[in-house]
Amino acid sequence: MLVDTFNRVHDYLRISITDACNFRCVYCMPEENITFLKQQYLMSNEEIFSLAKIFVDLGVTKIRLTGGEPLVRKDFGSIVSKLALLPIKIGITTNGLLLDNYLEDIKKADIVSINISLDSLRKEKFKTITQRDHFDQVMKNILLCIENNLYVKLNVVTLKGVNDSEIIDFVHLTKNLPIHVRFIEYMPFSGNNWDKDKVFSNQIALQTIENQFSLFKLVDEKNDTDKKFGIFGHAGTISFISTLTDTFCSTCNRLRITSDGKLKNCLFGKEEFDLITPLRNGENIVPIIVNAIVKKHEKLGGQFVDYTQVVASTLENRSMIKIGG
């Protein structure tokens, strides 16, 4: 088992399979000088499987594929079908654009739930946020997933003054659709123009919703990052991921591997542990993994305590697109 010095058991691994993306979300991708990794630096399908297998042997029970945009990888189908051989639950986080191409692979891999990012229900605003004109196709794919009995979780990053006015519209969406909408606070990363004044706190989001809807609390699992609610009379549900205003570090069970094969023990941590070079050299990487767990900080990668004090440009970290959500 992968237990850190704060007694947290790490059984959930998020693997970024590419740093490339077909969107340019303003809160994620740095505006300038973004270059994607050349093929030889990306983990191959076989390397992803080998790493996954090592982590499963160390107690990981759930693996999420992310990116960049995981579905831009041409071998996505093959990656997911190989991982399905392992005794794990597989998750995917995607912007949804290419989902129709991979639905069969996803179903064959026994994936039952999928996280799709959608920050606006308005075509024009979607375009402003993602800098791409793909709203209709993403919506179509969301509905396609629901029709195919996949449980869809919508990730909505709320940005003050940009899409906070749509919170109620997202709740309305759950009236007839059996989807789960998750409101996520805007987090600071390298090059994403973050400012504390752009954070729309989930406490205010909840109050805004409670003013119009009758909510009831749902049970949260021990390692859940979100606080879940049902809405009387609605087919779907909502939740709040309050990374900044109500941190959940004490129950963190997550590890991340970047698309260039570096292990990160925390989303906000600056420390990275190279796994791919030793793996390619045929070395035993277990001691490196164990060391990475031991070095995990208690909170927020040891980089800040209170988000209101954060100066984003002083944080030492990758951009979100290079970490993989």
- Residues in the site for ligand SF4, rule: CB under 6 A? 21, 23-25, 28-29, 67-69, 95, 117, 321
Q: Least distance (Å) from ligand SAM to the CB of residue 73? A: 12
Number of residues that bind ligand SAM (CB under 6 A): 21
Q: Interacting stretch for ligand SAM, rule CB under 6 A, among 164-172, 180-188, 202-210, 276-284?
A: 180-188
Partner interacting with residue 29 (select from ligand SF4, ligand SAM, none; CB below 5-8 Å by kind): ligand SF4
CA distance 212 to 155: 21
DSSP string, 244-265: TTS--GGG--EEEE-TTSEEES
Q: Supply 43's token pair.
A: 């983990």
Q: Least distance (Å) from ligand SF4 to the CB of residue 298? A: 28
Q: Least distance (Å) from ligand SF4 to the CB of residue 186? A: 12
Q: Which residues pair with 231 in a beta bridge?
A: 215
Q: Interacting stretch for ligand SAM, rule CB under 6 A, among 49-57, 187-195, 264-272, 293-301?
A: 187-195
Nearer to ligand SF4, 2 or 184 (CB): 184
Identify the three-state secondary structure at position 165: helix
Q: Supply 263's token pair.
A: 């292990």
Residue whose structure tokens are 């075509």:
123
DSSP string, 264-295: ESSTT----EE-HHHHHTT---HHHHHHHHHT
CA distance 242 to 202: 6
State the residue number with the nearest CB to ligand SAM: 325
Partner interacting with residue 102 (select from ligand SF4, ligand SAM, none; CB below 5-8 Å by kind): none
CA distance 268 to 316: 8
The correct pick among 12, 186, 229, 307 for binding ligand SAM (CB under 6 A) is 186
CA distance 197 to 177: 33
The correct pick among 17, 142, 154, 184 for binding ligand SAM (CB under 6 A) is 184
The contact pattern for ligand SAM, residues 2-31, with x = CB under 6 A and - = no contact, is -------------------x-----xx---
Task: Judge residue 221's burial from the number of C-beta atoms within 10 Å of its C-beta, 0-12 exposed, 13-18 middle, 19 or more buried.
Answer: exposed
Q: From its phi and psi, is residue 193 left (phi > 0), alpha (psi between -120 and 50) or beta? A: left
The correct pick among 13, 187, 231, 244 for binding ligand SAM (CB under 6 A) is 187
The neighbour count for residue 240, using CB atoms within 10 Å, is 23
Q: Least distance (Å) from ligand SAM to the CB of residue 233? A: 27
Nearer to ligand SAM, 213 or 261 (CB): 261
Partner interacting with residue 24 (select from ligand SF4, ligand SAM, none; CB below 5-8 Å by kind): ligand SF4
Q: What is the DSSP letter of 318?
A: -
The correct pick among 83, 111, 292, 321 for binding ligand SAM (CB under 6 A) is 321
Q: Least distance (Å) from ligand SF4 to the CB of residue 67? A: 6
Nearer to ligand SF4, 67 or 261 (CB): 67
Interface with ligand SAM includes 258 (CB under 6 A)? no
Q: What's the Cα-to-Cα distance from 61 to each of 11, 12, 64, 291, rounded to whole Å?
A: 5, 6, 10, 20
Binding site for ligand SAM (CB under 6 A): 21, 27-28, 66-67, 69, 93-95, 117, 155, 157, 184, 186-187, 189, 192, 320-321, 324-325
